[in-house]
Amino acid sequence: MKEDFRTLKDYWSIKGGCMKYSNITFEKKEGGVGLITLDRPQALNALCDALINELSDAIDKYEADNAIGCIVITGSEKAFAAGADIKEMQSRGYMDVYKSDFIRAWERVGRCRKPVIAAVAGFALGGGCELAMSCDFIVAAENATFGQPEVNLGILPGAGGSQRLTRFVGKSKAMDMCLTGRFMDAKEADRVGLVSRVLPLEDFVESALKIAREVSSKSRPSILMAKECVNRAYETSLAEGILFERRMFYSTFATEDQKEGMKAFVEKRKPVWKNR
């Protein structure tokens, strides 16, 4: 049977080996969920180059793995991530960041075709907030704290903060956060639409995994197409976006899962997806 995605075996033969992680942990969870935990507690998960490379590699692996239907990125109880690594960036000059195309590697998360959920507890500041916003949606623990405090360092957001935050929360709030560097707590983030839901800190990761399992349990093609459609809303006019959605909607009628989903509804049973 032809596979929808490359297999993990294909992945290994293409990549030719296994990257050892020292800044993240990588765990395949039940229900087709891939968990990535940022794990640099000594620096509040500051996003150094090595961490970003490991994160990209982990996304590559989950993307190539047919068993995974949804990815969760989380950090610790104290920090999702406190931003780009200031100590690593401190001595860099313009030519260093320009020639190395600094930040480009961060875009891997936003380019993932599978759904990615950011599960944010504690600080999500600067690049940490930007990383969370490059996921498909953010679930926040009660203690989550968001901010773009780059102005305090004589720089500005560089991983999409000024653009994505504005789309999430509107001009006034985004300006306020980018110009004053103030933090936003979970309640405010929920109220203004930066996060999709706020969950208790207790069992937070387990609750986020439960949401991911729910996403992963759906028909894979419909999930991928729904994600493409929502993302298209940010890149095009309303009329073009609606046309795009309609075309995608029509194409679901060519899937086996549309037949199965509707048949199962009529027969009052749970659908058995073929992901085709």
Task: List residues near ligand CAA by CB under 6 A.
Answer: 43-44, 46, 82-87, 123, 125-127, 130, 149-150, 153, 157-159, 161
Among candidates 161, 158, 163, which has minimal Cα distance to 147? 161
Taking only Cα atoms into account, the Rg of the chain, rounded to an integer number of angstroms, comes to: 19
- 32 versus 126: smaller Cβ distance to ligand CAA: 126
Catalytic residue among 150, 159, 212, 226: 150
**N-term to C-term CA, the chain:** 11
Q: Residue 173 Cβ, how far from ligand CAA at the closest point, in Å?
A: 17
Catalytic residue among 43, 58, 82, 84: 84
Q: Residue 153 Cβ, how far from ligand CAA at the closest point, in Å?
A: 6
- CA angle 234-237-239, nearest 5°? 125
Active site residue 27: no
- On whether the CB atoms of residues 249 and 214 are closer than 8 A, the answer is no
- 31 versus 158: smaller Cβ distance to ligand CAA: 158
Catalytic residue among 69, 122, 126, 127: 127
Please give the structure tokens belonging to residue 101.
């195309």
- 32 versus 161: smaller Cβ distance to ligand CAA: 161
Q: Residue 215 Cβ, how far from ligand CAA at the closest point, in Å?
A: 28
Q: Residue 22 Cβ, how far from ligand CAA at the closest point, in Å?
A: 16
Q: Residue 251 Cβ, how far from ligand CAA at the closest point, in Å?
A: 37
- 132 versus 212: smaller Cβ distance to ligand CAA: 132
CB-count burial class (<10 Å; 0-12, 13-18, 19+) for 221:
buried
Active site residue 127: yes
**From the CB of residue 250, how many other CB atoms can be counted at a distance below 10 Å?**
9
- 12 versus 98: smaller Cβ distance to ligand CAA: 98
**From the CB of residue 195, how many other CB atoms can be counted at a distance below 10 Å?**
26
Active site residue 144: no
- On whether the CB atoms of residues 192 and 167 are closer than 8 A, the answer is no
Active site residue 188: no
Catalytic residue among 54, 83, 124, 130: 130
Q: Residue 148 Cβ, how far from ligand CAA at the closest point, in Å?
A: 7
- Among positive and negative, which fits the CA dihedral 163, 165, 168, 173? negative
Strands (E), the chain: 24-29, 33-38, 70-74, 79-81, 116-120, 123-125, 137-141, 145-147, 183-185, 197-199
- On whether the CB atoms of residues 204 and 176 are closer than 8 A, the answer is no
- 185 versus 260: smaller Cβ distance to ligand CAA: 185
Rounded Cα gap, residues 113 and 272, in angstroms: 22
Q: Where in the sequence numbering do the catalytic residues fall?
A: 84, 127, 130, 150
